[in-house]
Amino acid sequence: MRILTALAPPDLILGRAITTDDGMPLVGRGTRLSRRYLRMLHDEGVRVLECEEDPRVDPWIRIPETDEYLRALDARFEPVEGDKRMRALKDAVRGVYLDFLDGLER
């Protein structure tokens, strides 16, 4: 699951290693993330964590995969697809979400 570093509860287990921009390891896969690790990663500019599934994490904290989110967005707006104002709203929501994701990856 992907989750925002700032919202991650302690004790999550890292599902993918985190490296610096030049490839040096910061934290290894399988590391249990303490508050100290989470603070350090946030301070280092790591905005998204790939963690193992954890039932303590509420769905609203998770970052859905882009394709999954866009399919759900299309489904929500399908009943009103004929309304050009609603199409404009859907396009605006899509743009904001894609900009948000782009900002996280930098």
CATH superfamily entry for domain 2-61: Molybdopterin biosynthesis moea protein, domain 2 (3.90.105.10)
Q: Give the rounded percent of residues in the chain with a pLDDT score beyond 70.
A: 98
In this prediction, residues 34-42 reach a mean pLDDT of 94
Res 105 pLDDT > 80: no
In this prediction, residues 93-101 reach a mean pLDDT of 91
Res 104 pLDDT > 80: no
Q: In this structure, how many other beta carbons lie within 10 angstroms of the beta carbon of residue 98? A: 13
The residue that leads in pLDDT, 63 or 105, is 63
Q: What residue segments make up the domains of the chain, in order of their start?
A: 2-61, 66-104
Q: Please name the helix (run of DSSP H) or strand (run of DSSP E) that holds residue 37, with its range, or none.
A: helix 35-43
Res 46 pLDDT > 80: yes
Q: Is 61 exposed, middle or buried (0-12, 13-18, 19+ CB in 10 A)?
A: middle
pLDDT band at 100 (very low <50, low <70, confident <90, very high): confident
